[in-house]
């Protein structure tokens, strides 16, 4: 059932996984409606920061009404800097789940590769968990400062690591990792920087694999009203009447062939 809620969630736990990478767990009714690939809008308490911050969902615990968010804090990210200071018991306004998720039911029992790079890695853990580890997870890092690797192993995924500098796993990007291990599958699910997604789209087409990608884009409203996060699409959008798709509303997950990268 598709539904979103606007409520005051409570912080269950938070820890720092790596420098600038935080793991936040929230108690929220939104967990009942969330699927892998969706995101939450989090509202800072500081009223000078009017816009919410969209953060992808990393884990879903419907039994305990909890959502897990793993996010990056940057020097310019005043909103995420505020979130990183939250302690268990503190409250935070949220709206979600938002956007559409990955079509996991369509590929039940099929061979699946999940690919993630940078802060696109957390939502891939949500997919691996939903698939109960029946997938190959190819995760790309800049260097040896990897995060969530044990989590992928705990859910039973076959994990392949890559790094830009070769300090862990295969030297190169996730496509290099897939090629070195000669991976074949029915579908690729991916999230990460646009250059990585562009390469994955090409690779999937060359290998005759279906491909769904989750786009990372700056957002304002998060609900499709402001058109601040559009991407170019093959088809004309019914809302704007041009070759655009709203990442927050029509995405963030798209069939790779739907969009121009």
pLDDT of residue 75: 73
Does the reported pTM lie above 0.95? no
Question: Rounded to whole angstroms, how far apart are CA atoms 74 and 83?
Answer: 12
Predicted confidence band of residue 180 (pLDDT cuts 50, 70, 90): very high
How far is the CA of 187 from the CAs of 130, 135, 152, 200, 243, in angstroms?
Answer: 15, 10, 19, 11, 26
Give Cα 164 to chain centroid, integer Å: 20
The residue-averaged pLDDT of 2-21 equals 94
How far is the CA of 8 from the CAs of 29, 43, 182, 189, in angstroms?
Answer: 10, 10, 47, 31
Q: What is the pLDDT of residues 100-113, one digit of tens each?
A: 999 999 999 999 99
Three-state DSSP state, 206: helix
Does pLDDT of 96 surpass 80? yes
The residue-averaged pLDDT of 195-224 equals 82
Predicted confidence band of residue 52 (pLDDT cuts 50, 70, 90): confident
Question: Rounded to whole angstroms, how far apart are CA atoms 90 and 22?
Answer: 16
In sequence order, the β-bridge partners of residue 116 are 139, 191
Does pLDDT of 1 surpass 70? no
213 φ, ψ to 5°? -125, 145
Domains of the chain, each with CATH number or no CATH: 5-98 (2.40.30.10), 104-216 (3.40.50.80)
């Amino acid at each position: 059932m598709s539904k979103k809620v606007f409520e005051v969630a409570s912080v269950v736990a938070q820890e720092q996984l790596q420098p600038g990478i935080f793991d936040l767990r929230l108690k929220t009714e939104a967990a009942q409606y969330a699927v892998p690939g969706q995101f939450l809008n989090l509202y800072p308490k500081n009223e000078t920061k009017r816009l919410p911050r969209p953060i992808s969902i990393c884990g879903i615990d419907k039994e305990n009404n909890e959502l897990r968010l793993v996010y990056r804090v940057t020097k310019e990210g005043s909103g995420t800097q505020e979130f990183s200071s939250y302690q268990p018991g503190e409250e935070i306004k949220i709206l979600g789940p938002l956007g559409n998720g990955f079509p996991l039911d369509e590929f039940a029992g099929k061979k699946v590769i999940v690919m993630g790079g940078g802060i696109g890695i957390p939502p891939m853990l949500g997919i691996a968990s939903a698939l109960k580890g029946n997938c190959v997870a190819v995760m790309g890092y800049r260097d040896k400062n990897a995060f969530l690797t044990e989590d992928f192993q705990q859910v039973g995924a076959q994990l392949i690591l890559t790094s830009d500098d070769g300090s862990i796993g295969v030297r190169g990007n996730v496509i290099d990792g897939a090629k070195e291990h000669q991976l074949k599958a029915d579908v690729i699910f991916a999230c990460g920087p646009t250059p990585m997604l562009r390469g994955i789209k090409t690779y999937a087409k060359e290998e005759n694999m279906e491909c769904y990608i989750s786009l990372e884009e700056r957002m304002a409203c998060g609900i499709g009203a402001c058109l601040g996060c559009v991407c170019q699409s093959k088809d004309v959008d019914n809302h704007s009447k041009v070759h655009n798709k709203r990442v927050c509303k029509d995405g963030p997950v798209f069939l790779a062939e739907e969009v121009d990268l």
